[in-house]
Structure 1
Amino acid sequence: MKSRRDRLREATVQEITQTARRILVEQGPEAVTLRAIAREMGMTAPALYRYFGSHQELLRHVVGDIFADLTAALKAGLHEVPENDMNGKFLAAARTFRRWAFTHRPEYGLLFGAPMPGVGDQREQADFAEENARRFGMTFLTLFLELWGKCPFDVLPDEDIEPRLREQLRRYRDLGLAGADLPLGVIQVFLQCWVRLQGAVSLEVFGHLDFALDDPEPMFELMLTELAPVLGLEYEPPASYARDETGGGEP
C-alpha cells in the first residue's frame, strides 16, 4: 500500500503533466516551460524540480502520457470489433488512429513531428515515455502478428529482400519484439503498412494535402483499399460510403 506522501506526489506529478498538456494544446510546444506550468499551478519554477529534473524530462513524461492515451483509444476501438473479425480489426485500428490524430493535433505533432530525443531508443531500463511508446507500437505489432497467425499472406522469401534492407529487418527482429522465427518478409510488410498508414495521417494532420484536398478522408480510404489485399483482407467501406442501387457513391 502506498503511503500518503507517495499518493500526494503521484497526484502532483499528474497535475503537472495535465497542465503541461493543456498549455501544449492551447498555446503550442514552445509555451510548455517550467515557468508557465508553475504559474498555472500557483507554484514556483524551482519547486517543479522536486518532481522533474529538467524541462526535457517533463516533456518526455508528457509524451508518455499522450502515448498512453493514444494506446487506450486504439484498444477501445479494437474492443468494439468481434474477436475473430480480422478485417474489422485492421480497419478499426487504422481509422481510430486517424480519428485520434485529428482530434489531438497538437499532441500528434509532439509524438510524430520532430522525434523526441531518446524516444524509440532501445534502453536497458525504459523510462515512462519509452515504455508507453513501446506499448503503443506493440498494439499495432500484436494485431499484425495475430493477422499473420490466423491468415498468413504472401511475403518475399528472405533471400529476395534487398540486402541492405534485409540486414536492418534482421536486426529489428533480433530485438525480440516480433518473434525470432518470423520471416523477414513479414516484418517488411509490417513496416510497409506502418509507413503508408502513419505517412497518410501525418500528411493530413500537418496540412500537406491542403493544396489539393479539403476533405482527404476519401484518399485515406483509398489507401486502405490498397493495403487490405496486401494483408489478405477485404476492404469494407464505412457506412457513410454506402452505395446506391446503381453503384454510385452517396455523399
Structure 2
Amino acid sequence: MTTPRQRARAATMQEIIRIGRRHLAEHGAAALSLRAVARDLGVVSSAVYRYVGSRDELLTLLLVDGYDELGASVDRALAGVAADAFRERFLVVGRAVREWALREPSTYALLYGAPVPGYAAPAEQTTGPGTRVPATLLGITAAADAAGCLDPVDPAPVGAGLAAGLAAVRTEFDAPLPDEVLVRGVLAWVSLFGAVSFEVFGQYGPDRMGDPGELFEHHLAGLADRVGLRDA
C-alpha cells in the first residue's frame, strides 16, 4: 500500500514527464532544460533535482515513458484480435505503431530519430521497454511458425556473421525460429519502423505521396507476405 507521500511523489514525477514531453515537442530533445521544466512545474530549479538529477535522467524518463506508451497502444490494439489470426495481428501492430507515431511525432523522434548529442541511453533502463514492440512482432512470427501458419518463402543464404547476430536475437527475444525464418521477422520489424519514420519525418515530400495511409497498407501487406504469415 502506497503512502500519501509516495503518491505525491509519483504524481510529481508524472507531471515532470508531461511537461518534459511538451518541451520536447516545442523545443526538441537537444534543448531540454531542467530549469525550464522547474519553471513550468512552479518550483525553484533546485527543487526539481530532488526528482530528476540531470537532463540525461529526464531524457531517459521520456524514452521509457514513450516506449511504454507505444507498447501499451499496441497491446490495446491487439486485445480484440484472435491469438491465431497471425497475419491480422501483424497488420494490427503495424497500424498501431503508425497511428501512435503520427499522434506523438516528437516522442517518436526521440525514440527512433537521430541520437541526442552527448546522451547515451542506459541499456538497463531502456532495453526492455524499447524492445517491447519488436518482441511482439517476433512473438507473432514464432507463434505462427509453431502453428504451421508460415507459408514457405525462398530463403536467402545466411552467412556466419549474420547467423551469430540472429542467435543473439533468438536468445534475447526467446524466439525459437530457424535462421531463414528469423531473418524475415527481423527485416519486417526494421522495415515497419523505416516506413513509419519516412512518413513521420516528412520524407515523402510536400504531396506526401497523395495518400500515405494507402501506401503504408501496401507496404504492411507486403511485409506480411514476405514473412509468410497467414491466419489459422
TM range (shorter): 0.7 to 0.9
Task: Measure, in 2, the Cα distance between the counterparts of 1:20 and 1:67.
Answer: 15
Task: Measure, in 2, the Cα distance between the counterparts of 1:84 and 1:136.
Answer: 18
Of structures 1 and 2, the larger Rg is shown by 1
Matched, 1:112 2:112: yes
| Conservation of the 8 A alpha-carbon contact between 1:157 and 1:184 | no
Please show how residues 76-225 of structure 1 align to structure 2 within 5 Å.
76-115=76-115, 117-119=119-121, 121=123, 126-127=124-125, 129-150=126-147, 151-154=149-152, 160-175=157-172, 177-179=173-175, 181-210=176-205, 213-225=209-221
| Conservation of the 8 A alpha-carbon contact between 1:17 and 1:62 | yes
| Conservation of the 8 A alpha-carbon contact between 1:78 and 1:92 | yes
Task: Measure, in 2, the Cα distance between the counterparts of 1:120 and 1:5.
Answer: 28
- Of 195, 214, 229, 1:233 maps to 229
| Conservation of the 8 A alpha-carbon contact between 1:153 and 1:230 | no
Calculate percent identity across the aligned residue pairs: 35
Task: Measure, in 1, the Cα distance between the counterparts of 2:226 and 2:56.
Answer: 40
**Aligned pair in 2 of structure 1 residues 152, 87: CA closer, same or farther (>3 Å)?**
closer
Cα deviation, 1:73-109, whole Å, max 9, x if unaligned, reads 1011111323322222111111111111111111111
Structure ranking higher in helix proportion = 2
Please show how residues 40-51 of structure 1 align to structure 2 within 5 Å.
40-51=40-51
Matched, 1:15 2:23: no
| Conservation of the 8 A alpha-carbon contact between 1:21 and 1:62 | yes
AA paired with 1:44? V
- 1:119 Cα offset (Å): 4.2
Q: State the TM-score, normalizing by the size of structure 2.
A: 0.86
The answer for unaligned runs of 5 or more in structure 1 is: 236-251
The answer for unaligned runs of 5 or more in structure 2 is: none
AA paired with 2:133? F
AA paired with 1:225? A
